[in-house]
């Protein structure tokens, strides 16, 4: 397990923030939980496009009908959430 200081804070892009606000509260909580898990180990989730050798920092975290696409911004030290997909 990692210490709380080892987590990467998540920042939402404006479209992702707007979409999150429109989701039901239980789904919003699920997004927060998923981002909490992703922030502890950003590279443990699958790469968005495995055929792109330079795209290793673009990841997707999925649980059931929820997918969060994020970019690991190494220089700023946070995750940038690009998209949220809820298929529920």
In a domain, 54, yes or no: yes
In a domain, 2, yes or no: no
In a domain, 1, yes or no: no
Q: What is the CATH classification number for the domain harbouring 68?
A: 3.30.2310.20
Sole residue written with tokens 């180990």: 41
In a domain, 73, yes or no: yes
Q: What is the structure's pLDDT at 5? A: 53
Q: Which domain holds residue 22?
A: 7-86
Helices 25-40 and 14-22: crossing angle in degrees, nearest 10, is 140
In a domain, 26, yes or no: yes
Q: What is the structure's pLDDT at 88? A: 83
What confidence tier does 2 reach under pLDDT thresholds 50, 70, 90? Answer: very low
pTM of the model: 0.85
In a domain, 47, yes or no: yes
In a domain, 61, yes or no: yes
Q: Strands 66-73 and 58-63, how do they pair?
A: antiparallel
Total domains in the fold of the chain: 1
Mean pLDDT of 15-28: 97
Look at the alpha carbons of 37, 18, 76, 5 in this order and tell me if their dihedral is positive or negative.
negative
> Is residue 21 predicted with pLDDT exceeding 90?
yes
């Amino acid at each position: 397990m990692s210490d709380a200081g080892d987590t990467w804070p998540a920042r939402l892009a404006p479209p992702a923030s707007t979409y999150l606000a429109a989701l039901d509260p239980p789904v919003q909580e699920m997004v927060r939980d998923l981002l909490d898990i992703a922030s502890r180990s950003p590279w443990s989730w699958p790469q968005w496009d495995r055929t792109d050798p330079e795209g290793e920092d673009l990841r997707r975290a999925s649980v059931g009908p929820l997918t969060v696409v994020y970019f690991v911004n190494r220089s700023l030290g946070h995750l940038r959430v690009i998209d949220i997909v809820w298929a529920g």
